[in-house]
Amino acid sequence: MATTLRHLAEYLPLRALSTALHAFPPSTNLHTAGIVADLFALLGPHRVARAVDNIRASFPQWSDERVQQVARASIRHMFQVFMVDSFIMPRSLTPTSWPQAIEVGEIGPGLELLLSDQAAIFLTGHFGNWELLGFTLATIGFPLHAIARPLDNPLLNRWLLGVREARGMRVITKWGATPQMLKLLEGGGRVAFIADQNAGDDGLFVPFFGRMASCYKSIGLLALRYRVPVVAGAAIRVGQAFRYRVEATDVIRPAEWLDHPDPLFYITARYARAIETMVRKAPEQYLWIHRRWKSRPRYEREGRPLPDTLRAKLESLPWMTPAEIETIAGHSPSSRTAVSTSL
């Protein structure tokens, strides 16, 4: 009984909020969401501090003022996405009205795959509006199957699932998703992921903003098993209104990894690089408050320097420079100790 009451206490205010939002224009609602975000930042300074730390480490050349500005802007963007955009998508994005809110950027190679019968993996990060990206593709006639974790509240989960699937996108819950993903890719379907979650200490660590970040192996393993391309894309807010630009950041084709000495590492590192490329275009639209770098590779946890085997893997990535590799090596506790001792 207590659980049911708690679920209702979470669900009913959100439904009321959704109804109230429809009475005002999106510009007003976005402004209101920004005020709520500022209040959230005031009441949760530890979350702002986490965002500041992540941004400062990712953009060490930035001034403290700019770091603080982007941290607070990213929190405002997060609230605008969750409080406003998610609720008005079904009404604002229809097969006839979507051009009023969506502009199409550089999507050439990704569009070729969408128009073909070839299976593919599509991914994005917690950047821009990750929900809107798949929703838009489904609206204009390119349905995807997105992998998502079900919410603990069944009332919220059922409602938001209906919102997500309003234009043809289908959501597969993580629990028991593997057989469905395999069947889809075998049959030429398209599967979509949000690909920048922290995968824990046992994940596959690849470069992301100058540090090693833990990634799930599943995306690369699926691409390898079925030899399907991986498309990284984003929906980036344009201006201060409900308007987004959809674009493809990178397309990773099987021919580019088949001869690589470690194809799983290559695929994972390259899509992480594609997400980093997205974020650099509009850093204030990234979810900096999430614990992206919480898990650390074993050599860092054990206080050892960057292993030679990992250095060789980093050197095998054609986009990595010696300076970037040394930056990654510098995050090892042993490297920092050596520097401080020499000083």
Q: Which two tokens stand for residue 156?
A: 């919220």
Tell me the per-residue pLDDT of 172-202, one tens digit each, with 9 for 90 and over: 776 667 787 788 888 888 888 999 999 999 9
* Average confidence score pLDDT of the chain: 86
pLDDT at 339: 40
pLDDT score of 147 more than 50:
yes
Predicted confidence (pLDDT) at residue 341 exceeds the cutoff of 90: no
Given this model, what pLDDT does residue 320 score?
97
pLDDT, one tens digit per residue, over 209-263 is 999 999 999 999 999 999 999 999 999 999 888 899 999 999 999 999 999 999 9
Average pLDDT over residues 38-57: 91
Q: What's the pLDDT at 160? A: 64
pLDDT above 80: residue 4: no
Give the residue extent of every domain in the chain: 2-295
- 100-104, 152-156, 278-282: lowest mean pLDDT where? 152-156
Q: What is the pLDDT averaged over residues 113-142? A: 85
**pLDDT tens figures, 293-314:** 999 999 999 999 999 999 999 9
What pLDDT does residue 85 have? 87
